[in-house]
Structure 1
Amino acid sequence: MKLITDFKSDWHELLKSVMTYKWDMDTSGLDKDIPVHYFNAQQRRIPARPRQISIADIFACPPEHQAGWNSLQQKITQGQDLSPHLSKFIDDVGKTDLMLSDWGVYHLHLGTKLKGRYTNRTGPLLFARVTGDSFYAISVYTHDDWTDAEIVEAIHRNWPESIACWALQGMQPVEKLTSEQRKALREKRYNSFVQVKDGTTYAPVGGGYMFSGHSIFAITEMDKEHDFLECLERLIPDLMPKLLPELEKRGYSDASDIRVSLVLTDLAYFAHFTEYGIATELQKRHPGPWRDVVSKNAQDLR
């Protein structure tokens, strides 16, 4: 008996289907590192769910954009989709967001009218840190403020507990970087620390980025899931004695290779014996950052 499995490829196809059919991204040229592109695209989106808004002490919104800010606040608290306010580049599979990967800060447009799938673009942009339940509104900035250290300073001063895990103990940079120096480092894809006024030093709050521009988060999540899928594949040979009688009823003979594919539902990982129409549960679904993966209905596994 020869078992043919490639759970990694099966998983890649699931991720690709999310990018194509749920996020409407052009994945036609995507043939490798699919999880990296998936996690990069997923990190740049804000899942729709109600959040509590906290406003920084430096927050200021230009009067001409107050209506846009009022509308956005309502959407945030009601848990509406904020994608229309994000960059149009979230639909481009090759684009990255260096400020997000560096500092964990999103930028949102304050337009009030939809033009296609997006609100009208605004020069001033709202910078915000977003977590599962909270929306931390820092202030409204211009397109030239991507590397202004006051952004991290404001997060530290107003919500230090939200970034405490990134604070470095007993380590400080030799000198503080200027905005221009930080911009030059980002353009070359070099990660850097930020020291705020009270001396606290932070590693990249957004997790940092690779030379490709993709977030380190995307790389590590891909590696972790690949390791997990390899473990699942190794479970299958031990399950075969129990499954063999049912496979034989459905036409299996000892000389046949058996193709086993990965199938995900909302509840579990399944090994699906493709040619014989049966499946067995391998592992309950664990919470993960790619939970938006398209799941097949359990009916499909019977």
Structure 2
Amino acid sequence: MNFEKDLEEIVATMFKHSGGRNPQQLSPYRQFARLFDHADQQVPEKSYTVHLSNEVQKRAQRYPVQGLLQEVITCLEQGRTIRPYLSNDVARINSNDRLLRHWRIKHLHLQTVSTADKEGFVERSNLLLFFRVEGNSAYLIDILPHPKRRSKIEWSNTELVNIVDRNWPHLHQLMPSSTPDKKELNDAMYACLRSHNINAMVSTERGSVFPGGGTMSTGESFRAHTEWMFLRQYIERIQDYVAHEYPKIFGYVAAYASAIRLDEIHNTGCTIFDGASQRHVFIKDAEVNSWFEIPFPSMKLKHGLFITHHSA
């Protein structure tokens, strides 16, 4: 019985079926991190409370794109998918959205869904809506011309962070005793730091803030690293529980060490398989007094199988 190895096999299978390349060159952690960061690029289908910044309302009148903006807002409020509007990078597991990983900001194309191509994405637009999703809330930040694809500087627009801070300061962590920095970094400096996976505070009118993202030195998000640690601790507790409670779980005592495997992980527990009795048993988190929320709102972890949905 080795649930840690089973977990690694589950992750490897998910990675492979998600289009991940050269899995043998990546550790289980890095495969998991790629899966996590890829899932983080998606927007789960559920009803959101939509918040509009002052800047978005002004831009919508200026361009004008009120109709297109309302189309997106309606999808968010009614729990319909907005995947067609997102960057087509969301379909690639190896994409690296540094704007999201560092500042928690996503973007979508303001174009009507009737222009969707065979892949399901709307016609690429010259105007992008930058937004942030936290829990059941969607924060619409600004509408801006599409940055040049290879322009790291334009994708490091600190004004986006300033807009979030002016409209929804609770989304940022203000550093203690912080004041606005007269020697603040410019967009080009942030772009350079990001390209080397270096994290930095952003100077706003209130002071230096932490937008809530950040990456490890290898490029994976902080959140992916943290979730991997929690998941491994959770699996360790499950294995300890099974090792001590095997007779209670299966109703008899047998040589089980090599016959039990971790089969599935759910938001409320996990399923284990006993080879000796050929039985699957679901173990609730409450039984183990341990909880772990699956970090993939669009995925289901399953031994030897990968199932994906675009809904939460």
Name the residue aligned to 2:202: 194
- C-alpha spacing 1:291/1:135, structure 2 compared with 1 (3 Å): closer
Name the residue aligned to 2:244: 238
CA drift at 1:231: 2.1
Q: Report the AA paired with residue 128 of structure 1.
A: F
| Separation in structure 2 between the aligned mates of residue 266 and residue 221 of structure 1, nearest angstrom | 13
Greater radius of gyration (CA): 1
CA drift at 1:245: 5.7
Q: Are 1:148 and 2:151 matched, yes or no? A: no
- C-alpha spacing 1:242/1:75, structure 2 compared with 1 (3 Å): closer
Q: Is the 8 A contact 1:18 1:294 kept in 2?
A: no
Look up the SS of the partner of 1:211 in the other structure. Answer: coil
Name the residue aligned to 1:80: 80
- C-alpha spacing 1:99/1:257, structure 2 compared with 1 (3 Å): closer
CA drift at 1:42: 1.2
CA drift at 1:150: 1.5
| Separation in structure 2 between the aligned mates of residue 42 and residue 234 of structure 1, nearest angstrom | 30
RMSD: 2.7
Q: Are 1:124 and 2:127 matched, yes or no? A: yes
CA drift at 1:119: 0.7
| Separation in structure 1 between the aligned mates of residue 219 and residue 9 of structure 2, nearest angstrom | 23
CA drift at 1:278: 2.4
Q: Are 1:169 and 2:169 matched, yes or no? A: no
- C-alpha spacing 1:235/1:114, structure 2 compared with 1 (3 Å): same
| Most deviating of 280-289 and 65-74 | 280-289
Q: Return the TM-score normalized by structure 1.
A: 0.81
Q: Are 1:97 and 2:97 matched, yes or no? A: yes
- C-alpha spacing 1:263/1:52, structure 2 compared with 1 (3 Å): closer
Q: Is the 8 A contact 2:230 2:292 kept in 1?
A: no
CA drift at 1:90: 1.4
CA drift at 1:161: 1.9
Name the residue aligned to 1:300: none
Name the residue aligned to 2:117: 115
Give CA deviations for 1:262-287 in whole Å, capped at 9, x if unaligned. Answer: 43356422332134222445442643
Look up the SS of the partner of 1:139 in the other structure. Answer: strand
Q: In the comparison of the two structures, how many residue pairs are matched? A: 280
1:268-279 matched pairs, under 5 angstroms: 268-279=269-280
- C-alpha spacing 1:261/1:83, structure 2 compared with 1 (3 Å): same
Name the residue aligned to 2:306: none
Give CA deviations for 1:189-222 in whole Å, capped at 9, x if unaligned. Answer: 2111111123x2112x242012332211111111
Q: Report the AA paired with residue 127 of structure 1.
A: F
| Separation in structure 2 between the aligned mates of residue 295 and residue 139 of structure 1, nearest angstrom | 36
Q: Report the AA paired with residue 276 of structure 1.
A: S
Q: Report the AA paired with residue 197 of structure 1.
A: E
Name the residue aligned to 1:55: 52
Name the residue aligned to 2:222: 216
| Separation in structure 2 between the aligned mates of residue 279 and residue 100 of structure 1, nearest angstrom | 39
Q: Is the 8 A contact 2:267 2:292 kept in 1?
A: no
Identity %: 20
Q: Is the 8 A contact 1:12 1:34 kept in 2?
A: no
Paired residue for 1:183, among 177, 191, 194?
A: 191
CA drift at 1:99: 0.7
| Separation in structure 1 between the aligned mates of residue 294 and residue 260 of structure 2, nearest angstrom | 27
Unaligned runs of 5+ in 1: 249-253, 297-302
Q: Report the AA paired with residue 226 of structure 2.
A: T
Q: Return the TM-score normalized by structure 2.
A: 0.79
Q: Is the 8 A contact 2:247 2:253 kept in 1?
A: no
CA drift at 1:235: 2.1
Name the residue aligned to 2:231: 225
Look up the SS of the partner of 2:142 in the other structure. Answer: strand
